[in-house]
């Protein structure tokens, strides 16, 4: 299976991991799940994904930001699309939604979604990012 079809999901919400693992696998993706960014980076060193989906707020408020920054600043992973999917706004009242492409880039992400997200919207964005990445 192509690296492009491997998706790594990083979230401390086990229900989210299970649900989206199943949804993406039915679409033909190989899905790897981690509940901790450190664990995810270790896994990425062994098996490179084609795309990463990460939550923002895990063990610490900025876990997802730090994780996406590490990916985008590491020459081995810089070309891997990162999708942030978070409920931080509804849980904490913060609004991290990027309003411009510059703000999205400053987040070290290629896409951003608030939870709950419709599976079709996430799948469409994944397919778009992987298509762009293969050009």
pLDDT digits (tens, 9 = 90+) for 33-63: 999 999 999 999 999 999 999 998 887 767 8
Number of domains into which the chain is organized: 1
Exposed / middle / buried, residue 102 (Cβ in 10 Å: 0-12, 13-18, 19+): exposed
Cβ neighbours of 94 (radius 10 Å): 13
Could you list the residue range(s) of the whole structural domain that residue 17 is in? 3-130
Is 135 a domain residue?
A: no
Query: What is the model's pTM?
Result: 0.91
Domain holding 45: CATH number? Answer: 3.40.50.2300
Alpha carbon 127 to its chain's center: 13
pLDDT tens-digit readout, 66-121: 999 999 999 999 999 999 998 876 555 566 788 888 988 999 999 999 999 999 99
């Amino acid at each position: 299976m192509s690296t492009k079809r491997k998706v790594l999901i990083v979230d401390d919400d086990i229900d989210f991991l299970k649900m989206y693992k199943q949804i993406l696998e039915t679409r033909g993706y190989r899905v790897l799940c981690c509940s901790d960014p450190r664990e995810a980076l270790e896994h990425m060193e062994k098996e490179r994904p084609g795309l990463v989906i990460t939550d923002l707020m895990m063990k610490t408020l900025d876990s997802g930001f730090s994780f996406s920054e590490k990916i985008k600043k590491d020459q081995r992973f810089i070309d891997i699309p990162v999708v942030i999917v978070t409920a931080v706004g509804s849980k904490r009242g913060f609004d991290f939604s990027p309003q411009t492409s510059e703000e999205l880039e400053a987040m070290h992400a290629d896409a951003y979604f608030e939870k709950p997200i419709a599976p079709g919207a996430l799948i469409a964005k994944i397919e778009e990012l992987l298509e762009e990445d293969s050009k």
